[in-house]
């Protein structure tokens, strides 16, 4: 390895500049970003953020759009399922289905003519829900008497 002989290039120059610098500057520590213009940097950041904003906005819009499409698909799916369920309810409550179920549980159409029974006793009173389960009756508030009506009542005037 070759040894460096003589002074390091530029070292004398820097020492000379330091000797001519003001005393305050000679006492300050050299900062790596000392020469940055903060106004310019701020401007660059604002311009950068402004440029990023439409990208972020566009990304959000796209994601919202897909989310809306998914929701619309779900709505369509649910509507389709509702229509199928309605149809199934119709099938399950149809006369044919009721007849089939009746046969399954052993019911048969009556073979003989019906017998009508006339009962000359009034039927039971209709069942009522206990009052405790009913909503409280709305209290009717009477209109308060105005002061001048009270005054008329108080005065011994002929009615």
Partner 1 sequence: MPVDRTPGTRRIWLPAILLGIFALVAIARLVQIQVVEHGHYSTVADKELIDKTTVYARRGAIVDRNGNVLAISVDTWDIYVNASVWQDASKAGPASEALGKLLSMDPAAIRTSVTSATQKDPDIVQVLVKRDVPYAIGTAIIHEDLDGVVPVADHERDHPEGDLAASLLGLTGIDNSGLAGIEYQYNAILQGTPGKSIFERDTVGDPIPFGQSVAVPPKPGQDLVLTIDRNIQQMAEQRLHDAIVEHRAKGGQLIVADPNTGQILALASEPGLKYSTLDFNDPATTRLLQNSAVSNLYEPGSEFKLVTASAAIDAGAVTPNTTYYDPGYVDIGGTIIHNWEDEALGEQTMLGVLQNSLNSGAVFMAQQLGEEKFYNYVKAFGFGQPTGIDLPGEAVGHYRTPSDPGFSPVDFATQSFGQSITVTPLQMIQAVSAIVNGGKLIAPHIVKATIDANGVEHSVEPKVAGNPISPETSATMRMMMHYDLESPGYRSEGDPKYYLAGGKSSTANVPVSNGGYNDLTQIASFVEFAPLNDPKVLVLVTLDENQDLETGSIAAGPVAAKFIDDVLRYMNVAPDRADYPPYDQG
Query: What character string, x for contact with partner 1 (CB under 8 A) and - otherwise, covers 30-69?
Result: -------------------------------xx-xxx-xx
Stretch touching partner 1 by CB under 8 A, among 17-25, 46-54, 85-93, 127-135: 85-93
Chain centre distance of CA 59: 21
Of 97, 75, 101, 78, which is closest to residue 88 (Cα–Cα)? 97
Binding of partner 1 by 95 (CB under 8 A): yes
Q: Which residues contact 145 (CB under 8 A, 6 or more apart)?
A: 153
Out of 21, 56, 89, 151, the residue judged to bind partner 1 by CB under 8 A: 89
Residue 74 CA to residue 82 CA, distance in Å, equals: 12
Residue 19 CA to residue 31 CA, distance in Å, equals: 19
Chain centre distance of CA 41: 40
Out of 59, 71, 74, 87, the residue judged to bind partner 1 by CB under 8 A: 87
- CB 61 to partner 1: min, Å: 5
Q: Which residues contact 130 (CB under 8 A, 6 or more apart)?
A: none
- CB 107 to partner 1: min, Å: 16
Residue 73 φ then ψ, to 5°: -60, -40
Closer to partner 1 at the Cβ: 100 or 150? 100
Closer to partner 1 at the Cβ: 96 or 156? 96
Q: Residues in the site for partner 1, rule: CB under 8 A?
A: 61-62, 64-66, 68-69, 76-77, 79-81, 83-84, 86-87, 89-91, 93-96, 113-116
């Amino acid at each position: 390895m070759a040894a460096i002989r003589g002074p390091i290039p530029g070292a004398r120059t820097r020492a000379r500049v330091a000797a001519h610098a003001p005393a305050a500057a000679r006492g300050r520590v050299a900062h790596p970003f000392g020469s940055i213009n903060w106004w310019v940097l701020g401007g660059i950041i604002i311009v950068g953020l402004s440029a990023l904003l439409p990208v972020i906005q566009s990304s959000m819009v796209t994601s919202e759009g897909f989310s809306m499409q998914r929701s619309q698909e779900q709505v369509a799916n649910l509507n389709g399922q509702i229509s199928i369920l309605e149809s199934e309810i119709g099938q399950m409550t149809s006369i044919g289905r009721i007849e089939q179920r009746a046969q399954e549980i052993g019911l048969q159409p009556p073979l003989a003519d019906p017998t009508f029974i006339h009962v000359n006793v009034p039927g039971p009173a209709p069942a009522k829900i206990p009052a405790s389960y009913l909503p409280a009756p709305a209290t009717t508030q009477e209109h308060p008497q105005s002061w001048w009506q009270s005054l008329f009542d108080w005065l011994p005037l002929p009615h």
